[in-house]
């Protein structure tokens, strides 16, 4: 049995490398522009984020309509996921704070998780509009045909690469987003600007979520402790402690820098892991189709879940720390005064 499995794996590798070799991947960090909506230039990550939000809204609508005493099916699975995550939140923050935090923490978790998993669907990176080459290395030579009277461009099973210049069979008008015109043999060169791309490969999205998280953590801290919450950043009564007050000022500045740096660490942790996963899958699909890409695909399913969970849990821990800041010190001070 093991010999048959090994032979099957080798056969898949051979078929993938010889007959179904993918085009050489082009790593582009910046999200691609796909269309304009009035004055708004829509990128593929922005368009994908709208799809993710639509999925969450529609799912929430139908699950909400099918809530029952004994949940079952898809609604039951979603309810179990939400209930389990709510249990984790209340276990960390307590029942009162858990209820206060959950709607933000749960939103972050579900949005990041859905975005990461949506970015692993097969349609990502392969369906989109074709940008004619502008001297970009490793362009792909497309073939063009018609389906039901409409021109359709596609990449053949063993696509040829084109290094740009006169050797490429592309003939297009000038302009960055000009539509390519096929040569006489129906071929032209260019790159795909995909309609769908993982949302968190655009650094703006993790940054927006990090700012969102930061704002709510500070809001909860101020709501729970009032203006006294700001004492951990600004030692307004430093003059009462003499020379030690200067240390309080320095520690407060360190706290402020630490609080602001969370946004940076949140952003690049999520962006780096998701973008690296996208590049890894593209490279594995190019080098060894059908085999290694499946292994790393399973790894990315795990990474997508872990990144969503880590982002949400760190926000929860920072929120719980914010609302309980100085609580122990005040309690200890009151206890000492009562004892005295």
**Between the ranges 57-71, 135-149, 262-276, where is the mean pLDDT highest?**
262-276
Task: Please give the span between the terminal C-alpha atoms of the chain, in angstroms, as a whole number.
Answer: 79
According to the model, what pLDDT value does residue 182 have? 52
pLDDT level of residue 311 (50, 70, 90 thresholds): very high
pLDDT for position 161 = 58
**pLDDT band with cut points at 50, 70 and 90 for residue 270:** very high
Maximal CA-CA distance, the chain? 96
Q: What is the sign, positive or negative, of the torsion defined by CA atoms of 82, 86, 87, 88?
A: positive
What is the total residue count of the chain? 340
Looking at residue 200, the DSSP 8-state letter turns out to be G
Q: Please tell me the least confidently modeled range out of 76-80, 152-156, 211-215, 242-246.
A: 242-246
**pLDDT reported for residue 145:** 75
> Would you say residue 169 has pLDDT above 70?
no
Ranges assigned E (strand) in 102-255: 128-132, 139-147, 150-154, 161-162, 171-172, 180-181, 187-194
| pLDDT, position 247 | 74
- The three-point CA angle 125-107-308 to 5° equals 55
Rounded mean pLDDT of the chain?
Answer: 79
| Own/partner pairs, 230-238, CB within 8 angstroms, 24+ separation | 231/326, 232/325, 232/326, 233/259
Question: Where is pLDDT greater, at 24 or 324?
Answer: 324
Q: Residue 178: pLDDT band by 50, 70, 90 thresholds?
A: very low
pLDDT at 316 over 90: yes
Three-state secondary-structure class, residue 1: coil
Q: Is the whole model's pTM more than 0.85, yes or no?
A: no
Give me the mean pLDDT over the 199-218 stretch.
Answer: 94
Q: Does pLDDT of 18 surpass 90?
A: no
- With a cut of 70, say whether residue 298 has pLDDT above it: yes
pLDDT of 173 higher than 90? no
Mean pLDDT score, 242-254: 74
Residue 238 clears pLDDT 80, i.e. is over it: no
Interval 132-138 mean pLDDT: 54
Whether 149 shows a pLDDT value over 50: the answer reads yes
How far is CA 230 from each of CA 107, 252, 256, 316, 320, rounded to the nearest angstrom? 27, 9, 10, 19, 16
Query: Is the predicted pLDDT of residue 339 greater than 50, yes or no?
Result: no
Mean pLDDT score, 121-129: 82
Answer yes or no: is pLDDT of 126 > 60: yes
For residue 158, is pLDDT > 70? no
**pLDDT surpasses 60 at 115:** yes
Domain ranges of the chain: 25-127+198-340, 128-194
* Mean pLDDT to the nearest integer, 239-266: 79
- Provide the pLDDT confidence category of residue 186 given band limits of 50, 70 and 90: low
pLDDT of 102 strictly over 60: yes
Q: Per mean pLDDT, which range of 71-85, 112-126, 152-166, 242-256 is the poorest?
A: 152-166
């Amino acid at each position: 049995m093991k010999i048959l499995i090994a032979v099957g794996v080798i056969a898949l590798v051979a078929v993938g490398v010889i007959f179904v070799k993918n085009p050489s991947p082009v790593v582009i960090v910046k999200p691609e522009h796909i269309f304009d909506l009035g004055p708004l230039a829509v990128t593929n990550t922005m368009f994908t984020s709208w799809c993710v939000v639509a999925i969450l809204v529609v799912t929430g609508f139908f699950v909400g309509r099918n809530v029952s005493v004994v949940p079952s099916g898809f609604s039951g699975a979603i309810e179990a996921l939400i209930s389990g995550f709510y249990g984790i939140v209340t276990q960390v923050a307590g029942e009162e704070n858990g209820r206060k935090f959950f709607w933000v923490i749960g939103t972050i978790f579900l949005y990041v998780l859905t975005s990461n998993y949506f970015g692993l669907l097969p349609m990502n990176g392969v369906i989109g509009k074709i940008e004619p080459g502008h001297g970009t290395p490793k362009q792909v030579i497309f073939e063009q045909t018609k389906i039901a009277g409409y021109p359709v461009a596609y990449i053949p099973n063993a696509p040829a690469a084109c290094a740009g210049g006169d050797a490429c069979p592309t003939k297009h008008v000038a302009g960055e987003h000009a539509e390519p015109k096929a040569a006489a043999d129906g071929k032209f060169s260019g790159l795909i600007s995909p309609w769908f791309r993982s949302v968190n490969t655009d650094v703006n999205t993790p940054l927006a979520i990090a700012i969102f998280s930061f704002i709510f953590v500070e809001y909860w801290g101020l709501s729970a402790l009032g203006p006294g919450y700001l004492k951990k950043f600004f030692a307004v009564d430093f003059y009462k402690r003499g020379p030690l007050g200067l240390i309080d000022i320095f520690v407060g500045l360190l706290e402020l820098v630490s609080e602001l740096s969370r946004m940076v660490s949140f952003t690049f942790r999520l962006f780096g892991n998701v973008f690296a996963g996208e590049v890894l899958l593209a490279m594995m699909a190019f080098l060894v189709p059908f085999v290694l890409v499946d292994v790393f695909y399973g790894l990315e399913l795990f990474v997508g879940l872990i990144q969503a969970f880590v982002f949400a849990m760190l926000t929860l821990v920072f929120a719980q720390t914010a609302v309980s800041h100085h609580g122990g010190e005040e309690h200890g001070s009151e206890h000492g005064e009562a004892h005295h």
